[in-house]
Amino acid sequence: MPFCLLLSEDDSHKPIRLPHLQTVILGRGPETKIKDHKCSREQVELRADHNEGYVRVKQLGVNPTSVDFVALGKGNQVKMRIGQKLHMVNQLYPYTVSFKEEVSADGNKGSKRPHQENSEEESPTQRPGTYKVPKSASTEKARDQCGRADGASGLHRQPSPSQPLKKELSIIDKKVNSGHWNQGLKVSMQDPSMQVYKDERVVVIQDKYPKARHHWLVLPWESISSLKALQAEHRDLLVHMQNVGNKMVQQCPDASRLHFRLGYHAIPSMSHVHLHVISQDFDSPCLKNKKHWNSFTTDYFIESQDVIEMLERTGNVSVKEGMAELLKLPLRCHVCHKEQSTIPKLKEHLKCHLPT
């Protein structure tokens, strides 16, 4: 089954294991070797969901805590995924998380923990001391990426790891985050065979699992994990990404026959900011489920120009609450808005809107 580690990026201490749906408190103390009086003994509460591949981070102490340089504020919480970075006390004490498949004594991967419908509910908490941080990362068993839509108590010391687990931890430094599915874009954008355009600021790749006849991703070379990590100085970069996306459309042989949209998913499953350039025919075998459809045809898909204007107005990008619920909306044609009961019926219906 998968397990989760909290990793100290400055190697100040060993990785800390985060049990599934159990709360762990991070703060000042011997385990983390943090002696800074600005860091509370109970600074951050962590709760990992191994099934969904994220760690819920809640700020407990009064001093600044941030995820991808976006401040939380005392009492607030966010979901942190592979590729994102947690800082305690301003920009000090950086941490990342890793999800990995545990290997049993016979060398085989354990079976994955079954999904729990109540995974978001609080589990009984344990009596805490203060635990401190882990180091290293790896991979949770890759799911079928074509099936993805492109988001207080205490802590007990874990028992000594088994021999197979020790062996896995020993190779973490060589494979930090390299195998997790949501890091795939960082690999693809470096692959010359995937690149259809590049310049000194961005690269364009074909989506591996296109949801339409034409579906490209525009990615910046600069490492930006998510929309929430964008700041005012990124405005010109986003304008350049949009211009490059428009050039891709202009050069497309079907540009005169098909309509295109450029935008971002509100809560992308893949780490690293990427602009979708997608034709609106949605004629693709990789469009398989309701999440795919609603991620491109509801407000979950944020227009590129709207993101740019948000940066100009406020200096950051905010995502409205409840965006994830949009993925559960009924299937509705994006042209005539007629509701369809299943994906096959929707796809059949869409044929009537395809250009002749």
User: Which residue in 270, 15, 55 sits closest to 137, CA to CA?
Assistant: 15
**Burial class, 166, CB count within 10 angstroms (exposed 0-12 / middle 13-18 / buried 19+):** exposed
Closest to 275 measured CA to CA, from 319, 216, 194, 230: 216
Taking the C-alpha atoms of residue 65 and residue 277, their distance in angstroms, rounded to an integer, is: 34
For residue 137, the Cα-to-chain-centroid distance in whole angstroms is 15
Is residue 183 within 8 A of residue 177, CB to CB? The reply is yes
- CA-to-CA distance for 59 and 307, rounded, in angstroms? 27
**Closest-CA residue to 68 (of 180, 177, 225):** 225
In the residue annotation, 215 being an active-site residue is answered as no
**Which entry of 180, 265, 274, 276 is annotated as an active-site residue?**
274
Q: What are the structure tokens assigned to 129, written together?
A: 């001391």
Rounded distance, CA 300 to CA 323, Å?
6
Beta strands 94-101 and 2-8, pairing class: antiparallel
- The C-alpha atoms of residue 322 and residue 318 are separated, in whole angstroms, by 12
**Catalytic residue numbers?**
274
